[in-house]
Structure 1
Amino acid sequence: MKKNKNNGFTLIELIMVMIILGILSAVAIPRYLETIEKSEVASEDAVIDKICVALENHAQHKMLTKGRRIWPENPFDALVTVPQTYTTDGDDADADNEWTFVNYYTDDNVAEISGEITHQRADNT
């Protein structure tokens, strides 16, 4: 006479697997989000570094051709290739991965221009 052999999982085994998966996800999800944030920061830093180098190249070129260092009003104008998500709407960035430059002119007739570069990350920060 043959024994009846069950080929299923016990409730204890299923509960243990669920506990292990819960622990793994509790560790993995924050690490994943941290990795995404670090990659976005690195991407931002790369664009800013690229703008700095392009501005210096632009100023050096103007020094050679016009005899003095001149920078463009908009730093993105110095770039050969602007970021794909760069917009010229004049407002702060308000869409995912949007880059903008906003000029702030002075009221008096001083040749002083200031502005800010804004970037919105995918997580709306």
Structure 2
Amino acid sequence: MKIKNNYNRGFTLMELVTVISILGILAAMAVPKFFNLRFKAQIETENQIIGTIRAGLETYAAHKIAFTGIKTYPVSTTSTVLLDVLSSVPSDWSYSSGSPGTITHTRSDSTISWTYTRSTNDVYSIGTRSAI
């Protein structure tokens, strides 16, 4: 009687090394894309916040037109109308009024800020994204 030895039950070392190499290459391509997506998501969140601020400024101006007949933008964040809009902004951002007509909007980790500046009563600008 002949006993047959069956040594073909597993993977060879070469097959395992090949599979691990392929997985390593795929992971090396996926990780940078993941971090890039995170950065893009942060930018889009900031754009949404800036849109909310712009909406608040326009709401404030509309209230001023309705009550005084003159379009003006706020000098500080103490306006009730503006505060109502800004209350919907995520809590990891804060506001501070610097010089008259300037509001700085800063992320809680102090890495990014935006500055709103009222030029005249009816003109304002929101500066570009700046790293602190």
Task: Please report the RMSD computed on the Cα atoms of aligned residues, expressed in angstroms.
Answer: 2.3
Q: CA deviation at 1:4?
A: 2.4
Query: 2:13 & 2:65 partners in 1: Cα distance?
Result: 78
Deviation by residue 1:83-103 (Cα, 9 ceiling, x = unmatched): 241xxxxxxxxxxxx201121
1:118 to 2:117 alignment: no
Q: TM-score, normalised by structure 2?
A: 0.68
Runs of 4+ in 1 over 6 A off after TM superposition: none
Q: CA deviation at 1:62?
A: 1.3
1:77 to 2:83 alignment: yes
Structure with greater proportional strand content = 2
For the 8 Å contact 2:96–2:105, the answer to whether it is kept is yes
**Which runs of no fewer than 5 residues in structure 1 stay unpaired?**
86-97, 106-111
1:102 to 2:96 alignment: yes
Percent of paired sites with the same residue: 30
For this pair of structures, how many residues does the alignment match?
Answer: 105
For the 8 Å contact 2:94–2:106, the answer to whether it is kept is yes
Aligned to 2:55: 53
Range 67-76 or range 25-34, more displaced: 67-76
For the 8 Å contact 2:61–2:71, the answer to whether it is kept is yes
Query: 1:15 & 1:113 partners in 2: Cα distance?
Result: 64
**Which runs of no fewer than 5 residues in structure 2 stay unpaired?**
113-132
Aligned to 2:25: 23
For the 8 Å contact 1:83–1:99, the answer to whether it is kept is yes
